[in-house]
A and B are shown apart, each in its own frame.
Chain A
């Protein structure tokens, strides 16, 4: 049982870390602000969520676990709000005078 839980933690935390890596790569490599925002919210929600999920078996029940879940819920709320606020503040289309990010004007999905 302990081994299974340890394995669960290792897998979940590793997956979370990979999501953070993916989010960072997206932030660095994606061509414009809106796609970067997309990459960021993935890392925020899933990366942190998986790390929290993986840590759940390792902390004291129930207070420590509740605190972890509260952290994730707050981060979700912050991530969703930031996505909305920054998304609305960014100029709508790439190719605006300010958009000189990487020189590579990719197609935005």
Chain B
């Protein structure tokens, strides 16, 4: 067994160990911390699997923002946890479920072990036409070229997802602001972090967006970083969250999806098919989508993290 394979086995075992902890821990908060660590290690696995694009998304979104969301929820729900334990299913039922889940794992493992050789792949087909799109990162090419319809639907589905979160507000709170901690001690470390980190973060976000055409990165990774910086400023109490009824905010939310749809429709007219790019214009159009989609995605992800609006108590300042 080579050193690299041993390292891979170690990494896989660590991930499984953390996953078991996440399921088995008695305290939810500890389980969520385990989940955050698990996300970090999964990002490393994606590097080992040769996809830095996915590793970036996993690190920023799967571990970073999801961790933030779940840690907040775990702290919020901690007082109710004692009651959960009484509702656990009995040992026989758990054994039965465990056996069934083991069977699912066994079937999947058998599938993994019997995958055809050589593996079917669309890689050469992607590589062949990549030059006509003008981008060098094949993942970006797939996201905005060959499978742009998936990306479009995903961008569109984020808007109803946000509306679903907002719809959990009570009637008086509708259109108000998400919960915020209010102003904080200006000397605290959190305030300093929220003042120093965002400029660097915005730079990194734009860098990731920009290199996305040729190297791992792109609008999703860039948008996640921008969203994280925004949420940091809000959590530190440096700014109040925006009122969700604001027109400019709502336009910003739908801007990305609208631009995508308009460019897609222009393809019908210019190139004869929805989401087709006319000869020679592919690169500028992809760039336009990437750049205009990023602020929308960032705002939507940030607002998803902030949750539904709450009733304003004091006078709005």
A adjacent to B, CB under 8 Å: yes
Is A81 within 8 A of B200, CB to CB?
no
Is A74 within 8 A of B200, CB to CB?
yes
Distance between Cα atoms of A40 and B260 in the complex (Å)? 46
Distance between Cα atoms of A74 and B200 in the complex (Å)? 9
Which single residue of chain B is at the shortest CB-CB distance from A83? B189
Residues facing B in A69-106 (CB within 8 A) are 70, 74, 77-78, 80-81, 84-85, 88
Contacts of A70 in B (CB 8 A): 200
- Taken residue by residue from 186 to 223, chain B's Cβ proximity to chain A (1 for < 8 Å, 0 otherwise) reads as 00111011001100100000000000000000000000
Is A85 within 8 A of B197, CB to CB?
no
Contacts of B192 in A (CB 8 A): 81
Which single residue of chain A is at the shortest CB-CB distance from B207? A67
From the candidates A77, A78, A81, name the one contacting B190 in the complex (CB within 8 A): A81
Is A77 within 8 A of B189, CB to CB?
no
CB distance from B196 to the nearest CB of A (A): 6
Is A85 within 8 A of B190, CB to CB?
yes
From the candidates B189, B196, B197, B200, name the one contacting A84 in the complex (CB within 8 A): B189
CB distance from A80 to the nearest CB of B (A): 7
Distance between Cα atoms of A81 and B236 in the complex (Å)? 12
Residues facing A in B15-33 (CB within 8 A) are none
Main secondary structure of the interface of A (DSSP, over half): helix
CB distance from A28 to the nearest CB of B (A): 15
Contacts of A77 in B (CB 8 A): 193, 196-197
Which single residue of chain B is at the shortest CB-CB distance from A87? B189
Q: How many residues in A have their beta carbons less than 8 Å from beta carbons of B?
A: 9
Residue among B193, B196, B197, B200 with the highest chain A CB neighbour number at 10 A: B193
Contacts of A88 in B (CB 8 A): 189
Contacts of B189 in A (CB 8 A): 80-81, 84-85, 88
CB distance from A102 to the nearest CB of B (A): 18
Contacts of B193 in A (CB 8 A): 77-78, 81
Which single residue of chain B is at the shortest CB-CB distance from A73? B200
Distance between Cα atoms of A31 and B54 in the complex (Å)? 39
Distance between Cα atoms of A84 and B190 in the complex (Å)? 9
CB distance from A65 to the nearest CB of B (A): 16
Distance between Cα atoms of A85 and B196 in the complex (Å)? 16
CB distance from B64 to the nearest CB of A (A): 12
CB distance from A100 to the nearest CB of B (A): 15
Distance between Cα atoms of A84 and B192 in the complex (Å)? 11
Contacts of B197 in A (CB 8 A): 74, 77
Residues facing A in B259-279 (CB within 8 A) are none
Distance between Cα atoms of A84 and B194 in the complex (Å)? 14
Which single residue of chain A is at the shortest CB-CB distance from B201? A74
- Taken residue by residue from 46 to 62, chain A's Cβ proximity to chain B (1 for < 8 Å, 0 otherwise) reads as 00000000000000000
CB distance from A60 to the nearest CB of B (A): 14
Distance between Cα atoms of A78 and B228 in the complex (Å)? 14
CB distance from A83 to the nearest CB of B (A): 8
- Taken residue by residue from 10 to 54, chain B's Cβ proximity to chain A (1 for < 8 Å, 0 otherwise) reads as 000000000000000000000000000000000000000000000
- Taken residue by residue from 11 to 33, chain A's Cβ proximity to chain B (1 for < 8 Å, 0 otherwise) reads as 00000000000000000000000
Give 17 CB contacts A-B under 8 Å: A70-B200, A74-B197, A74-B200, A77-B193, A77-B196, A77-B197, A78-B193, A80-B189, A81-B189, A81-B190, A81-B192, A81-B193, A84-B188, A84-B189, A85-B189, A85-B190, A88-B189
**6 further interface pairs, Cβ-Cβ under 8 Å (given A74-B200, A81-B189, A81-B193):** A77-B196, A77-B197, A81-B192, A84-B188, A84-B189, A85-B190
Give the top 4 A-B pairs by smallest Cβ distance, nearest first. Answer: A84-B189, A81-B193, A81-B189, A85-B189
